[in-house]
Structure 1
Amino acid sequence: MTGESPLPVLISSAGRRAALVGAFRGARPEVELHACDLVPGLSSACALADAAHAVPRCTEPGFIDAIEDIVRRHGIRLIVPTIDTELPAYAAAAGRLAAAGARVHVSAPEVVAIARDKLRTMTVLAQAGAPVPDTVDEATLRADPGRLGWPVFGKPVGGSASRGLGVYADAASLPPAFAEPMMFQPVLSGREFTVNMFIDQQGRLRCVVPHERLQVRAGEVEKGRTTRREDLARLAGLVHRALPGAQGVLCFQVIDDPALGPRIIEINARFGGGYPLAHAAGGRFADWLVDEVAAGSCAAHDDWRDGVVMLRYDDAVFLG
């Protein structure tokens, strides 16, 4: 794109995703960064973008209307969602936004629906031969309390950001009712990993970058290290096979239990919070997405650096 204008990219629900803004800032071809949020004036990522826009909540009827207006007014060519709750709206509106000029970085609606339903995720992965923990819903656990053994790990079927997680020592420790649908699994132990995947526009799995989650805060990796493990790369192949409509960037979480071996515990059909580590190691997914839009293809590869460590710290953006 030498001599051409920067390609306009919109980071959606940007919030605190300052590191993701930074990853796209360094993309080649060069980009013009837009960001949107409910209150952009209170978003650090929006403050670091070239332009910021206020939009309704992603669950409100006017959300896609507002996004389409931004696309048309600013010539947005690529939209990058960042949170689970906006993925269904974007998946349903991908064709409409493409007609307005923007590719939405989102997988097919069926893939989004599977990833948003963690109980269904376990079923679909198991059917594809991927190793997952034995998983039941609340009704099954209450009807057969010994099914999983005790203690058990519970989490909301549609949860995110570590909301509603709990460990229950026995049937008597379960509350009389939960505020939302829950799923339960045996309590696993062992090292935890995030496996970052890049799937190109033709549906080919091009890059797999696992990183060990050395320390986590609020469900997001704070300290991590890339690790090249063939068994985790094989799991990515099984996830890819289980989700034929997947496209772009996805990640999944693994616990490497000493007794059971690696077990996949969830999938995120978007950029994960730990993506900047993969990016720093050479898995430059942001560049490849931009290149697909600019040139119709990309030079994605699996030649990233093993042993790269990320040590996150708090920083601030000052306005006024």
Structure 2
Amino acid sequence: MNILISSAGRRVSLVRAFMNEMKALGGAVIATDMNPKFSSACQVADRSFEVPRVTSDKFVASLLKICKDNNVSIVIPTIDTELNILADNRERFKAIGVDVIVSSVDIIRQCRDKRKTHQLFSHLGISFAKEFAHDVPEFPLFIKPIDGSCSKDLYFIEKPNDLTQSLIENEKLMFLEYIDPKRYKEFTLDLYFTKDSHLKCVVPRERIEVRSGEINKGVTRRNFLVDYVKERMSLVPGMIGCITLQLFYNEKNNDVVGIEINPRFGGGYPLSYAAGANYPKWIIDEYLNGKSLSSPYYDEWEDNLLMLRYDDEILVKDGGLGF
């Protein structure tokens, strides 16, 4: 009974969390990446394997073979671009006894297309930033891709003269109402949904400082957002496992503005894990130990736990040979 974490990259903390929780079962945590030799997470995993690029037609077949050859029971995806592919091929993995911890195809498509995410927010009763037609924007303006990730291709346009023709003509960009960070704090909430899509836990993390799209300094906050999300998302058919919900929150009037939903472990989840929201253990309990977790709701995580990230090194002996 082993676990595979795909596209592991730099997710050292996530790999270590699963390794820690697998000790009781004596199972291994396997990591895959396009270039495992240069993946720090692959270096700390029990085993690692090279796989083709996610967009390759050989990607799924490669993962299936690794799962079959290494007694893998669970696959944990970590990047946006593999979610649709793994959801589409869920039954192929199931046929060899492997559970892919990924939400439904419909949920993933709604989360990947930010315009459809707005429709999902509307269905859930969560407000979101107003979108403008490209020819009638209002300033200041925030621009982001319809299907972006990792905080790439984001633009803050303060006045009309800053808006270029290339941005106006790019149909893959969304022109959105600018949410003033002086009035709103940005939060990422780590949600856990059981295999029958019931909400098990909500941990809001205030994003104090972000680097390359990932939280660098953050703190857990037990605030209004917990009940706000519980009221609206106690059961969301198709949502499974760890879901990261990003919101803007005005503490003075409890106004909430939805940003996006990522149906996977977020880069800042290790803070929630350290606070006691043990999603790796719950995945193991549900999918390996056959336990039902639909109730009770879990709310015993540590409030006001501050995370300050820093750079560390993974050193590999003889790693430079051949270069």
* Alignment-derived partner of residue 40 in structure 2: 44
Q: What code does the residue aligned with 1:187 have? A: Y
Which digits, 9 at most, give the CA deviation of each residue in 1:161-185, with x for residues without a partner?
A: 0100001123342221246601122
Contact 1:125 1:239 in 2 (8 A): no
* TM-score with structure 2 setting the length: 0.90
The one-letter code sitting in structure 1 at the alignment partner of 2:314 is V
Instruction: Write out per-residue CA displacement over residues 221-260 of structure 1, whole angstroms, 9 at most, x where no aligned residue.
Output: 111111111334423542455x421111101111114678
Q: Is structure 2 residue 55 aligned with structure 1 residue 56? A: no
Shift of 1:127: 3.0
Tell me, yes or no, if structure 1 residue 222 matches structure 2 residue 216: yes
Note the alpha carbon deviations across 1:94-144, whole angstroms, 9 max, x for none.
1110111210010000011011011210122123311211124xxx231x2
Distance 1:135 1:250, change over 3 A: same
Q: Report the AA paired with residue 301 of structure 1.
A: Y
Match of 2:162 among 173, 178, 187: 173
The answer for the alignment partner of 1:187 in structure 2 is 178
Q: Does the C-alpha gap of structure 1 residues 54 and 318 become closer, same or farther in structure 2, counting only changes over 3 Å?
A: same
Quote the Cα distance in structure 2 between the aligned partners of 1:240 and 1:89: 27
Give the secondary structure class of the aligned counterpart of 1:263: strand
Who is 2:14 aligned against? 20
- The gaps in structure 2 that reach 5 residues or longer are 318-323
Identify which of 134, 142, 150 aligns with 2:139.
Answer: 150
* Equivalent runs, 1:81-96 vs 2, <5 Å: 81-96=77-92
Q: CA offsets per residue over residues 60-112 of structure 1, 9 Å max, x none?
A: 11100000001110110000000000001000011110111210010000011
Q: Is the 8 A contact 2:4 2:31 kept in 1?
A: yes
Match of 2:134 among 126, 129, 141: 141
- Please give the per-residue CA displacement for 1:45-74, whole angstroms capped at 9, x wherever unaligned: 000001110101111111000000011101
For the 8 Å contact 2:199–2:233, the answer to whether it is kept is: no
Range with bigger deviation, 12-21 or 247-256: 247-256
The secondary structure found in structure 2 opposite 1:26 is helix
Match for 2:304: what amino acid?
Answer: G
Contact 2:126–2:256 (8 Å) recurs in 1: no
1:314 aligns with 2:311: yes
Residue 253 of structure 1 is matched in structure 2 by: 246
Q: Which runs of 5+ in 1 are unaligned?
A: 1-6
Q: CA deviation at 1:298?
A: 5.1
Q: SS state of the match for residue 110, structure 2?
A: helix
Paired residues of 2:219 and 2:304 also in contact (CA < 8 A):
yes
The alignment covers a number of residue pairs equal to 306
Matches within 5 A, 1:202-241: 202-239=196-233
The question of whether the paired residues in 1 share the 8 Å contact of 2:187 and 2:247 is answered with yes
Coordinate RMSD, CA, aligned: 1.7
Match of 2:299 in 1: 302
TM-score when normalising by structure 1: 0.91
**Partner SS state of residue 81, structure 2:** helix
8 Å contact kept, 1:122–1:135: no
| Partner Cα separation in structure 2 for residue 131 and residue 104 of structure 1 | 31
What is the identity, as a one-letter code, of the residue corresponding to 1:42? Answer: F
- AA aligned to 1:92 is D
In structure 2, the residue corresponding to 1:216 is in which secondary structure?
strand
